[in-house]
Amino acid sequence: MNWSLSLPEIVLAVCGMGILLFGVVKRDDKTDICSMLTIAALVLCAVLVVGNSTGVAFEGQFVGDPISVFAKLLILTASAFAILLSLDFNRRAHIARFEFPVLVLFATLGMMMMVSAGNMMSLYLGLELQSLSIYVLAAFARDDLRSAEAGLKYFVLGALASGLLLYGISLVYGFSGSMDFQGIARALADPSTASPGVIVGIVFVIAGLAFKVAAVPFHMWTPDVYEGAPTPVTAFLGTAPKVAAVVLFARVMMGPFGHALGQWQMLIEIVSIASMLLGALAAIGQSNIKRLMAYSSIGHMGYVLIGIACGNAAGFRGVLVYLVVYVFMNLGAFAVILAMRRRGLAVETISDLAGLGRNDPALALAMTIFMFSMAGIPPLSGFFGKLYIFLAAVQSGLWALAVIGVLTSVVGAFYYLRIIKVMYFDEPAPAFDRRAPSISVAAAMTGLFTTFFFVLPGPVLNAAAAAAKVLFG
Amino acid sequence: MITMIAFYLFAAILIASAAMVVSARNPVHSVLFLILAFFNAAGLFLLNGAEFLAMILVIVYVGAVAVLFLFVVMMLDVNFVELREGIQRYAPIGAVVGLILFAELLMVVGVWHFSPAISTLRVALTPMAEQNTAALGDLLYTHYILLFQIAGLVLLVAMIGAIVLTLRERTLSRHQVIARQIARSPDDTLELVSVALNAGIPAASFRRPLADPLAEQPQEHDDRHPHIVSGAAHHEERH
């Protein structure tokens, strides 16, 4: 048994329990120490991920390959940023408790399990570990009615989605005779002989995973949860779990179900088109910036699903590149939203941003960069994310998806540009409070990455291409 | 022969105690008969060589679930007489439904058959162990150790979540601080005033209680002046 492959996960789990114990035993204010320890644990884990070898462990239940390394590094980065962003907000919102970083850590562990899953059971357990931690995080401001509502809503709908996923998994297992991804792939090697039961199972698995990435018929929870959850949780929810769920989605569809591409491709295309349309159209009428980000993330997931619908190496590479770009610009945008604080109270409407260009030019510049990037305007990173996705779609002959994708990005550009217009040209609102250093650091780092991605895109592109090669050797 | 006798003994006691569970007037007796039923069912499992199930039945059902029932029955004031009202009235329709269910079950069992190739269709083979406890242990702790550990972490997160979302430090309740009680002297609280005849006690002559030397912790501060403290917090936020 090659257990050393899962060394990063083991170390992270032990660190999580250690930090939990430390937090319980230590009496006085310990949230900041625990947060710093958690960030240190995530960094240590990232080092171990890079240094670890690849292969299969635990009888195929755990896979360490370039895909999982790529996704884990991205997830660990996003989680560390989310904890950094939470420091100041939680203290001011009086929810600074040491369980917050611990729950983020366990959610991260679940996500790492998800991207390393080589078996339906490890897929499900990783997903549940991640979801359960995030349900609690969404309700973390328990005295706030909206936060409690967000947690409850996410929990009930998430449990339903888990049920759908499990039902799909049990059908796939029943008709293919295996829980193992490779075993399922062998059983589906000739899709024409595959029984309808497997296809029904695949549809249910798609439904369960589409809920986790918030793609359109399963997106209903997103705006409410994004709006109600404490903003650092929203920043976390919108980045790391999306990476894990999308990578898992892509791996499951292209790995075990890869031979049955003809059976599920149409389904993913429909989900993708619906997500892009809803993301573009429903965001226009929003006045709350967190709700706007929710619809924006639905739209972005639509673009990512184009890559999955391609079902080939180019599509997979596009998905991974898009995820990198998406995580950084989303974290940056949430850093700016976290800086929206007037007289100690967090404000969330778009009109509150008015006059930011005059009051705080640096913050306004950062927000402009993120919004332009989300709209996909070159040379910012968002453009390259879309570029590789659309290239893959065109190469795979999915013209309709590419055309609709371009059209919806044009529509989506409207509401991103509206934010920029409000910041620079509207009647100024009173200035925000001084922003915390942690927020400035996060906004600056993500802003620099988003702006200068085009200078040195090589490492990300190469790593993504290498990862895509694993499934399409 | 002994197995036979044991089987009929366990089965007869099982059915009799099951009947007593639903017919006993006293709910505590019902629970006690339920425990007896569990024990006899465990005996039947043992006779079939399923010793793990037998142990689980005793440990989990008798040890935890039945005791929990007992607590619920004894703690909650459930009026069982009221629950039993109308049992005579509904008995016939209940019997009909039961009979239909029984007939359907018979039909299902009648046509049910296992695939002849069942032993080759399975992908996860049963480990070749002499006892099923060892076989289960082999699966759980050797082959599926990763999943087992992750499931443990899921439970840990569930526990953290339950504590995070519900545990409140009761700042408004008054704890007993023994050091403070011992440090009190009569002078802190008692004042002897010699009252002049027909004059009464002027209210202003009362001495305010002395500041408590041990009451420096903020939460005790909370106790006495909650409104002032919350006001101060608002004040801080504004700056």
Domain boundary among B32, B63, B80: B80
Side chain identity at residue B95, one-letter code? A
Q: Does the beta-carbon distance from B154 to A6 stay under 8 Å?
A: no
Nearest to B157 among A92, A106, A142 (CB): A106
Residue B15 lies in a domain: yes
Q: At B25, which CATH number?
A: 1.20.120.1200
Residue A209 lies in a domain: yes
Nearest to A132 among B144, B154, B165 (CB): B154
Task: Spell out which residues of chain B touch residue A18, defining contact as CB-CB under 8 Å.
Answer: none
In this structure, of A98-102, A117-121, B22-26, the range with the lowest mean pLDDT score is B22-26
Residue B154 lies in a domain: yes
pLDDT tens-place string over residues A336-368:
999 998 888 888 999 999 989 898 999 999 999
In A93-119, which residue ranges form alpha helices assigned H by DSSP? 99-115
Chain A closest-CA separation from residue B105 CA (Å) = 23
Residue A102 lies in a domain: yes
pLDDT score of A397 more than 80:
yes
Query: A225 is in which domain, residue-wise?
Result: 6-471
In this structure, of A170-184, A224-238, B13-27, B203-217, the range with the lowest mean pLDDT score is B203-217
Residue A90 lies in a domain: yes
**How many pairs of residues across A and B have Cβ atoms under 8 Å apart?**
76
Q: Does the beta-carbon distance from A179 to B122 stay under 8 Å?
A: no
Residue B32 lies in a domain: yes
Q: Does the beta-carbon distance from B160 to A20 stay under 8 Å?
A: yes
Nearest to A177 among B121, B154, B160 (CB): B121
Residue B107 lies in a domain: no
Query: B221 is in which domain, residue-wise?
Result: 144-171+216-239
| Beta partners for residue A64, in sequence order | A55
Q: E strands within A216-351?
A: 341-342, 345-346
Domain boundary among B59, B80, B101: B80
Residue A1 lies in a domain: no
Nearest to A136 among B121, B124, B165 (CB): B165
Task: Spell out which residues of chain A touch residue B143, defining contact as CB-CB under 8 Å.
Answer: 59
The structural domain count of chain B equals: 2
Three-class HEC string of A24-91: HHCCCCCHHHHHHHHHHHHHHHHHHHHHCCCEEECCCCEEECHHHHHHHHHHHHHHHHHHHHHHHHHH
The structural domain count of chain A equals: 1
Domain boundary among B65, B80, B95: B80
Task: Determine the residue among A133, A169, A342, A345 to mutate to test chain B binding: the one whose Cβ has the most chain B Cβ atoms within 10 Å.
Answer: A133
In this structure, of A174-178, A351-355, A372-376, A397-401, the range with the lowest mean pLDDT score is A174-178
A3 SS3 class: helix
B134 SS3 class: helix
Distance CA B100, CA A301 (A): 51
Residue B114 lies in a domain: no
Cα A235 to the center of its chain, rounded Å: 9
Residue B193 lies in a domain: no
User: pLDDT tens digits, chain B, 239 residues: what are they?
Assistant: 889 999 999 999 999 999 999 888 888 888 899 999 999 999 999 998 888 999 999 999 988 888 888 888 888 777 767 777 777 788 889 999 999 999 999 999 888 887 777 766 665 566 666 778 888 888 889 889 999 999 999 999 999 999 999 988 766 667 788 888 888 888 777 777 777 777 776 655 655 555 555 554 444 444 444 444 444 444 444 44
Q: Does the beta-carbon distance from B150 to A343 stay under 8 Å?
A: no
